[in-house]
């Protein structure tokens, strides 16, 4: 029956994790997948989430199916988290938020919706982008193109080239943008650059689709929602898939959402209905535990304050690791420019290491990066950063 099917080459990120798990060397360091580890190398369980779980258990209750669009309290909290509680788009009823199976679920629901309702639109993603973006949109039957983004020469952004390309796109093209903490490069638009981009999106009648998987890991929870709020202020219709995998350390709970900000409440009502139908066709409805956790952590003042502090601690540890790696590399290879570790934001940095150099790091030093050269800074610690710098310096010096 299935002898004819093609073998799956494996996912470029999960394959590295599997190789890391199979590595018996005790000094191994995992800087591959986008997971935050604490200073002791553990995947943290956030106290705010633990306390929310205690309260959920104490409250008891059955586990009915959620509606297709998810839990109402969770959806309301997410809308406010993204836009700010007082944003007029919420009061005007022109915002739709559905709870999804991680932000990946949100991206996929959005992609299927767009293929149905804008069947001629292609999507444009940054060069480079998260490996799975292409697979997801192509899986929905949408053609995927790229706009210029990362500047290998500077470790920064090709903003003028990006704008020039976007100015050439047909109306209703979908433009996938990372709202903060760009995956894989860590290179973000500044607020001024978002403000320069918005008129182009408007004039060309493009549809921005924000991916916000790392809210709070760049400059702050509100600061990292700048793009969402700026687009909503500008009155543009746009999509935003967001995740609590990283910010609440809830990877396996698959907590995410898809928000669509529309131009009117009537349009939002139509979108809400068709998103619900899209969910019904894909997985019927999302999980109830994920919804209760997010709703409690965001909705109960004491838990919200705990969580805000926990996110700040994770963000500050990542920033400290950026500085530590930068300083250790400069000390070992003076004259080389490693300032990109300081200017790039969030969990990831693009090291510029070639696939061959990444393979040497793995084989000779048990240090695991993605083949593209992407490093997950959140896997560094005071205990391993010196060793990682030593390994990188030896690979770079040859």
Q: Which is nearer to ligand LMR, 13 or 298 (CB)?
A: 13
Name the 3-class secondary structure at 368: strand
Contact 186, 142 (CB under 8 A): no
Q: Which residues pair with 376 in a beta bridge?
A: 348
Q: Which is nearer to ligand LMR, 34 or 208 (CB)?
A: 34
Q: How far is the CB of 111 from ligand LMR (least distance, A)?
A: 16
| Size of residue set near ligand LMR by CB under 6 A | 6
Query: Is 130 among the residues that bind ligand LMR (CB under 6 A)?
Result: yes
Question: Is 211 annotated in the active site?
Answer: yes
Q: Which residue has tokens 């998103």?
A: 275
User: Which pair of tokens denotes residue 91?
Assistant: 């009061």
* Residue 275 CA: distances (Å) to CA of 70, 158, 300: 11, 34, 28
* Residue 179 CA: distances (Å) to CA of 141, 223, 224: 24, 10, 7
Cβ neighbours, 10 Å, residue 36: 23
Q: How far is the CB of 251 from ligand LMR (least distance, A)?
A: 8
Cα–Cα distance, 188 to 348 (Å, whole number): 11
Pairing of strands 123-127, 374-376: unpaired
Beta strands in the chain (DSSP E): 29-30, 95-101, 123-127, 144-148, 150-151, 156-157, 174-178, 207-212, 238-243, 255-261, 348-350, 367-368, 374-376
Q: Which residues pair with 256 in a beta bridge?
A: 100, 243
Q: How far is the CB of 261 from ligand LMR (least distance, A)?
A: 24
Cα–Cα distance, 374 to 183 (Å, whole number): 9
Query: Is 218 among the residues that bind ligand LMR (CB under 6 A)?
Result: no
Residues 5-24 that bind ligand LMR (CB under 6 A): 13
Query: Is 303 among the residues that bind ligand LMR (CB under 6 A)?
Result: no
Q: How far is the CB of 11 from ligand LMR (least distance, A)?
A: 7
User: Which pair of tokens denotes residue 263?
Assistant: 């131009």
Q: Which is nearer to ligand LMR, 30 or 237 (CB)?
A: 30
User: Which pair of tokens denotes residue 188?
Assistant: 């973000």
Q: Out of 29, 31, 34, 228, which residue is the one contacting ligand LMR (CB under 6 A)?
A: 34
Q: How far is the CB of 374 from ligand LMR (least distance, A)?
A: 8
Question: Is 219 annotated in the active site?
Answer: no
Q: How far is the CB of 104 from ligand LMR (least distance, A)?
A: 7
Q: Out of 100, 183, 242, 351, which residue is the one contacting ligand LMR (CB under 6 A)?
A: 183
Q: Which is nearer to ligand LMR, 34 or 256 (CB)?
A: 34
Question: Is 23 annotated in the active site?
Answer: no
Contact 147, 127 (CB under 8 A): yes
Cα 32 to the center of its chain, rounded Å:
15
Q: Which is nearer to ligand LMR, 79 or 379 (CB)?
A: 379
Residues 106-125 that bind ligand LMR (CB under 6 A): none
- Residue among 71, 108, 130, 307 flagged as catalytic: 130
Q: Which is nearer to ligand LMR, 103 or 173 (CB)?
A: 103
Residues near ligand LMR (CB under 6 A) are 13, 33-34, 130, 132, 183
Catalytic residues: 130, 211, 246
């Amino acid at each position: 029956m299935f002898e004819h099917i093609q073998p799956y080459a494996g996912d470029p990120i999960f394959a590295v994790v599997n190789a890391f798990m199979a590595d018996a060397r005790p000094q191994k360091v995992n800087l591959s997948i986008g997971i935050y580890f604490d200073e002791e190398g553990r995947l943290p369980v956030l106290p705010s989430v633990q306390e929310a779980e205690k309260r959920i258990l104490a409250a008891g209750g059955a586990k009915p199916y959620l509606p297709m669009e998810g839990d109402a309290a969770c959806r309301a909290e997410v809308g406010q988290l993204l836009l700010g509680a007082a944003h007029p788009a919420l009061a005007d009823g022109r915002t739709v938020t559905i709870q999804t199976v991680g932000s990946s679920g949100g991206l996929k629901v959005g992609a299927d919706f767009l293929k149905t309702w804008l069947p001629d639109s292609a999507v444009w993603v940054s060069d480079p982008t998260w490996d799975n973006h292409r697979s997801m949109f192509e899986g929905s039957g949408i053609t995927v193109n790229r706009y210029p983004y990362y500047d290998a020469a500077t470790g920064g952004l090709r903003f003028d080239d990006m704008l020039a390309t976007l100015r050439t796109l047909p109306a209703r093209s979908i433009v996938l943008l990372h709202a903060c903490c760009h995956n894989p490069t860590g290179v973000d638009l500044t607020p001024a650059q978002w403000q320069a981009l918005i008129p182009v999106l408007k004039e060309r009648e493009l549809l921005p689709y924000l991916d916000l998987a790392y809210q709070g890991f760049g400059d702050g929870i509100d600061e990292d929602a700048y793009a969402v709020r700026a687009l909503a202020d500008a009155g543009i219709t746009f999509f935003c898939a967001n995740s609590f995998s990283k910010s609440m350390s809830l990877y396996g709970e698959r907590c995410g959402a898809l928000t669509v900000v529309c131009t009117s409440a009537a349009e939002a009502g139509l979108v809400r209905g068709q998103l619900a139908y899209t969910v019904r066709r894909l997985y019927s409805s999302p999980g109830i535990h994920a919804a209760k956790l997010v709703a409690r952590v965001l909705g109960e003042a004491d838990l919200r304050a705990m969580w805000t502090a926990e996110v700040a601690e994770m963000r500050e540890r990542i920033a400290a690791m950026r500085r530590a790696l930068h300083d250790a590399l400069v000390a070992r290879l003076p004259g080389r420019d490693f300032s990109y570790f300081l200017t790039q934001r969030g969990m990831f940095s693009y090291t510029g290491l070639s696939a061959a150099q990444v393979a040497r790091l793995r084989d000779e030093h048990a240090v695991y990066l993605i083949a593209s050269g992407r490093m997950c800074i959140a896997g560094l610690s005071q205990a391993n950063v010196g060793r990682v710098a030593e390994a990188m310096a030896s690979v770079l010096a040859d």
